[in-house]
């Protein structure tokens, strides 16, 4: 083939290629790949991929449940609650067998409430006698009650029999009369002092006239006698005032003694009242299980009437209504420095499969300043306690509610930063290259 023919064929091939319509991928493939790559990078930017730290948590509370422990060996005779029952503060939950009649103790305690008001307002003079109400089935506090009853009887009789009031009235009457006498004597003293002053002036004037021999000796003696008489009357009056004051002091001392005796009886009564209140409180702490606050009953064993219990045995738990639930996580020292308050945490409960129920979220609330030693398979390890605050409703990401129970365990994943996947894959690698250089 000649050189001209070859050139012609070559030009035909070129013309064919130039005139041929290219496919979509050949025309826009590079642009599509560029856009696709950009979209992938953009998506990596919006996908969160923070560094995380995992640890096992235990569900706790700022107001932890309170266990009600039996103080004595005994037998349950009344069961007034059931598991997960709402109770109010002061509700009686269980009653142990006792020789005392619970109804009598409650009735006695109600009567003591009125006495408490009198004691607090210092109005024991209005005390009523409680001996008309007979309490004969108080068990171990019967003796304390009898002593209180005796003190109540003595004080009531002292205040209402009339003897104390009569003595007090007589003493007050005598004091009133003596004080009136003192008032009269004081007025008389002023008159006597004036009369004595005038008589003394007259005597001094007559003494001067006697020296001048202007009056007789008899007249001078009469003037001096009148002066001495006024002086004697004034002296007697002063002695009467002194005697009156002494008598007033004696009568006031009698009144103080009478008031002191009544005060001693009141103090004795208050002491016996306090002993009885203390004995009732001690009895209730032994034989009654009473709710210390509003909450929900939790039972970890079967409780029934007739059950024998041992001293020191926990029977009930009360979960407070206002519990702020927390997750307590023990974190090792590795990467512990990256944890800070406010960081987000993902919580997966062991009792609730996260694939079915979802997960809950929380925030780091507190970080312990000092470590605690924890025994592990590798030996004793220092770990820090981190508390994670969670929503009290414990709603998961699947809008399901987890029933909070003290001691529930799970896994907490704490987000240590706010990195995205782009930073995770590329920027961190570039940083590491510069660091090694």
Mean pLDDT of 378-390: 84
Q: Please, are residues 108 and 335 in contact by the beta-carbon 8 Å criterion?
A: no
Buried b (16+ CB within 10 A) or exposed e, 307-332: bebeeeeebbbbbbeebebbbbbbbe
Q: What DSSP assignment string belongs to 269-323?
A: HHHHHHHHHHHHHHHHHHHEEE-SSSEEEE-SS---TT-EE-TT-EEEEEEETT-
The pLDDT value recorded for residue 8 is 46
Mean pLDDT of 160-183: 76
| Distance from chain centroid for Cα 184 | 62
The pLDDT value recorded for residue 421 is 56
Q: Which helix (H) or strand (E) holds 117?
A: helix 102-120
The band of 236, judged by pLDDT with boundaries at 50, 70 and 90, is: confident
Q: Please, are residues 202 and 223 in contact by the beta-carbon 8 Å criterion?
A: yes
CA-to-CA distance for 344 and 342, rounded, in angstroms?
6
The pLDDT value recorded for residue 131 is 47
The band of 7, judged by pLDDT with boundaries at 50, 70 and 90, is: very low
Which of 11-15, 344-348, 371-375 has the least mean pLDDT? 11-15
Residue 55 clears pLDDT 70, i.e. is over it: yes
Q: Is 289 exposed, middle or buried (0-12, 13-18, 19+ CB in 10 A)?
A: buried
- Residue 87 burial (CB count, 10 A): 20
Q: What does the pLDDT look like over 320-352, one tens digit per residue?
A: 877 778 888 888 877 677 788 888 888 889 888
The band of 435, judged by pLDDT with boundaries at 50, 70 and 90, is: very low
Question: What is the percent of the chain with per-residue pLDDT over 70, rounded to a whole number?
Answer: 77
The band of 377, judged by pLDDT with boundaries at 50, 70 and 90, is: confident
Q: Please, are residues 390 and 362 in contact by the beta-carbon 8 Å criterion?
A: yes
CA-to-CA distance for 272 and 268, rounded, in angstroms?
6
Residue 34 clears pLDDT 70, i.e. is over it: no
Q: What does the pLDDT look like over 216-227, one tens digit per residue?
A: 777 777 777 777
Handedness of CA 173, 175, 178, 183 (dihedral sign): negative
Which of 107-111, 123-127, 248-252, 365-369 has the least mean pLDDT? 123-127
Q: What does the pLDDT look like over 14-32, one tens digit per residue?
A: 555 555 555 555 555 566 6
Tokens of 277: 């209140």
**Which span out of 43-47, 254-258, 429-433 was modeled with the highest average pLDDT?**
254-258
Give the dihedral of Cα atoms 202, 204, 206, 208; nearest 10 deg.
-150
Mean pLDDT of 197-201: 78
Q: What does the pLDDT look like over 94-144, one tens digit per residue?
A: 989 988 888 888 888 888 877 766 665 555 655 655 544 678 888 888 899
Beta strands in 84-234 (DSSP E): 86-87, 92-96
CA-to-CA distance for 315 and 317, rounded, in angstroms?
7
Higher pLDDT, 37 or 293: 293
The pLDDT value recorded for residue 429 is 56
What class does CATH assign to 52-62+322-436? mainly beta
Tokens of 152: 């109540």
Higher pLDDT, 76 or 437: 76
Residue 244 clears pLDDT 60, i.e. is over it: yes
Buried b (16+ CB within 10 A) or exposed e, 145-177: beebbebbeebbebbeeeebeeeeeebeebbee
CA-to-CA distance for 29 and 65, rounded, in angstroms?
67
The pLDDT value recorded for residue 211 is 73
Higher pLDDT, 395 or 27: 395
The band of 298, judged by pLDDT with boundaries at 50, 70 and 90, is: confident
Mean pLDDT of 271-295: 89
Tokens of 169: 């009235």
Q: Which helix (H) or strand (E) holds 67?
A: strand 66-69
Provide the CATH number for the domain formed by 98-285 in this structure: 1.10.287
Q: CA angle 362-366-367, nearest 5°?
A: 115
The pLDDT value recorded for residue 46 is 56
Residue pointed to by tokens 């994670």: 388
CA-to-CA distance for 206 and 221, rounded, in angstroms?
9
């Amino acid at each position: 083939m000649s050189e001209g023919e070859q050139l012609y064929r070559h030009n035909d091939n070129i013309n064919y290629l130039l005139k041929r319509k290219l496919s979509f991928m050949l025309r826009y493939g590079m642009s599509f790949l560029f856009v696709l790559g950009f979209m992938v990078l953009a998506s990596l930017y919006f996908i969160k991929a923070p560094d995380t730290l995992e640890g096992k948590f235990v569900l706790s509370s700022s107001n932890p449940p309170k266990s009600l422990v039996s103080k004595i060996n005994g037998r349950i005779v009344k069961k007034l609650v059931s598991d997960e029952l709402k109770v109010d503060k002061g509700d009686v939950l269980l009653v142990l067998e006792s020789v005392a009649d619970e109804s009598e103790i409650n009735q006695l305690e109600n009567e003591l409430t009125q006495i408490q008001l009198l004691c607090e307002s210092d109005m024991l003079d209005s005390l009523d006698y409680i001996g008309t109400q007979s309490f004969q089935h108080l068990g171990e506090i019967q003796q304390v009650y009898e002593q209180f009853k005796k003190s109540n009887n003595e004080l009531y009789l002292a205040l209402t029999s009339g003897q104390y009031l009569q003595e007090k009235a007589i003493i007050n009457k005598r004091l009133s009369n003596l004080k009136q006498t003192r008032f009269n004597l004081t007025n008389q003293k002023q008159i006597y002092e004036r009369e004595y002053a005038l008589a003394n002036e007259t005597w001094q004037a007559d003494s001067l006239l006697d020296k001048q021999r202007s009056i007789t000796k008899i007249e001078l003696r009469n003037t001096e006698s009148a002066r001495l008489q006024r002086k004697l009357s004034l002296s007697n009056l002063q002695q009467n005032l002194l005697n009156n004051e002494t008598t007033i002091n004696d009568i006031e001392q009698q009144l103080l003694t009478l008031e002191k005796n009544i005060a001693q009886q009141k103090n004795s009564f208050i002491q016996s009242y306090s002993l009885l209140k203390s004995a009732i409180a001690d009895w209730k702490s032994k034989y009654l299980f009473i709710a210390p606050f509003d909450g929900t009953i939790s039972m970890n064993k079967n409780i029934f009437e007739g059950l024998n219990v041992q001293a020191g045995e926990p029977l009930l738990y009360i979960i407070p209504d206002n519990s702020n639930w927390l997750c307590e996580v023990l974190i090792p020292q590795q990467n512990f420095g990256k944890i800070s308050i406010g960081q987000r945490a993902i919580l997966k409960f062991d009792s609730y499969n996260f694939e079915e129920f979802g997960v809950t979220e929380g925030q780091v609330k507190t970080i312990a300043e000092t470590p605690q030693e924890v025994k592990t398979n590798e030996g004793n390890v220092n770990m820090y306690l981190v508390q994670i605050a969670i929503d009290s409703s414990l709603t998961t990401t699947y809008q399901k509610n987890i029933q909070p129970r003290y001691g529930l365990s799970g896994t907490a994943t704490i987000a240590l930063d706010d990195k995205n996947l782009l930073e995770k894959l590329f920027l961190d690698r570039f940083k590491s290259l510069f660091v090694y250089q």
